[in-house]
Amino acid sequence: MKNPKASLTADFEDAYGSQSSAVTNEPQVKAKKAKAKKKRSGDSFWTRMLIFICGALVGLGVFATVMYFTQGKNADTKKETKRNSSSYRTSSDNRSSSGSRGDFYRPKDEDDDDDDAIIRDRYNEKDLDDDFDDYVDDDYDPDFNSDFNDPGYTLPKNISDEDLSGYTIILDPGHGGRDTGCVFPFDYPEYNECDFNLRIAKRVEQELTSRGATVHMLRTDNSWVSLYNRLAQTHLICLDIAQEQGILPFSEDRADELRDRLWESIYINEDTVASGGMGIMVGSGVGEDLKDLFEMEYKLEKVLFLSIHLNSSESRTLHGNQIFYVTDDSVIESENRQMYENSEFQRSDFPIRDPYYGRKNDDNYLLGCCLYDNIVGNIPAFETNGTPVKADNYAVLREHGLTGALVEVAYLSDDNDRALLLQDQIVDQVAYSISDGVKMYFLQKDI
């Protein structure tokens, strides 16, 4: 997904220049040299022998020191080789070492195997408190995440294939068809984001399904599916689940009425306000129909929404993984700005409602952390130099009540990220990592 905000980074130059100066008093230096020459001429044979012996001892000491550091460097090289190979671990290796994940926001000690220790060391090279601060937006209340610092959580080792049974994931491969998403190169596109998204999402679907989860894909080929079509599909899936579980918070007649309205969005299949394709999702705030759906979806704790995208940076300075989530505040702030700046939102028939509060802000943030943590834990090259987990206002997350995240797997515009994304084993790693992130979220929530 294109993210104009992401390019708003600044390079800072070192403000400190080096400074050196030497002040020489020439006559004093000459006098010292003459004195030293006179003294040397009077040295005896034995003095010269003593100097030779001392020199030999110093030489031996230097040799021993060089040997010591050479050995150390070899050991470091071996360790580095092993660390790199851990990025390409097989499925079974990945699962057996999954206990290391969670370190990004919750460092743990002891009982790790070597691989875990290597990954943890890599995390701990940076100040964890500084990293944690990166998660929090300037205008966002950081207090809500205090519970995440409780000790005691580790993802169990030897995760079985059945460990996600009972959970449902709605997977949204971003863009498709005439909507390519971001492209690279910018002028003569060779790569389209939509193709990467679908490939990754299909692999994630396969992995989640193999672990027992139920997966719904909102796009399964390279066709164009409108944004609000995807959201309507999501609500319809949730209506079915709630009805099956007997937890509809309204009558079945009301459910049928909502279904009809959602199908209208799918039939129209347009994104613009003018077309009416938004259906019950049009306007700022949340209308009564949508409120009913939100209330129903908040109760579906074992259902998550994940949208799969790639990032792009016009300046090509950014790389790595990034997770977006929504909060009430991030949505309200964005809607206010759009209504002020965007003429489409100033139409007389555009519904403007009171700000809506009630989203699962903390859960969305927790899911974002679990996903970033696992992706970067398995693929250290995807550690971002931008903001790892960020609140924003994406419709795919805003217009439903499920806990959800938009995963910008990596930057299509970054040469290293793109080279990795083209590798099957990296796509596999992304799939394992997202699945582990999902599992970690449910374990954290104890549901």
Which positions touch Zn ion (CB under 5 A)?
Answer: 1, 174, 181, 309
Residue whose tokens read 């460990």: 163
Q: Which of 202, 280, 293 is nearest to 243 (CA)?
A: 293
Q: Are the C-beta atoms of residues 39 and 31 closer than 8 Å to each other?
A: no
Q: What residue type is 369 in one-letter code?
A: C
Cβ-closest position to Zn ion: 1
252-268 and 227-245 are packed helices; what angle lies between their axes, rounded to 10 degrees? Answer: 160
Nearer CB in complex with Zn ion: 86/312: 312
- Rg (C-alpha) for the chain, rounded Å, is 29
Q: Distance between CA atoms of 440 and 436, rounded to whole angstroms?
A: 6
Q: Distance between CA atoms of 205 and 209, rounded to whole angstroms?
A: 6
H/E stretch holding 172:
strand 168-173
Q: Give the shortest CB-309-to-Zn ion separation in angstroms.
A: 3
Q: Are the C-beta atoms of residues 325 and 366 closer than 8 Å to each other?
A: no
Q: Which residues contact 381 (CB under 8 A, 6 or more apart)?
A: 87, 320, 416, 417, 420
Q: Give the shortest CB-1-to-Zn ion separation in angstroms.
A: 3
Nearer CB in complex with Zn ion: 181/437: 181
Q: Give the shortest CB-154-to-Zn ion separation in angstroms.
A: 33
Q: Give the shortest CB-197-to-Zn ion separation in angstroms.
A: 7
Q: Distance between CA atoms of 204 and 403, rounded to whole angstroms?
A: 18
Q: Give the shortest CB-314-to-Zn ion separation in angstroms.
A: 14
Nearer CB in complex with Zn ion: 231/290: 231
Nearer CB in complex with Zn ion: 119/194: 194
Q: Give the shortest CB-308-to-Zn ion separation in angstroms.
A: 9
Q: How far is CA 384 from CA 6, 135, 338, 407, in A?
A: 11, 12, 28, 13
Nearer CB in complex with Zn ion: 132/196: 196
Nearer CB in complex with Zn ion: 2/291: 2
Q: Give the shortest CB-210-to-Zn ion separation in angstroms.
A: 26
For 409, the token pair is: 């797997």
Sheet strands side by side (includes 403-411): 214-217, 168-173, 303-311, 403-411, 322-325, 389-391
Nearer CB in complex with Zn ion: 238/412: 412
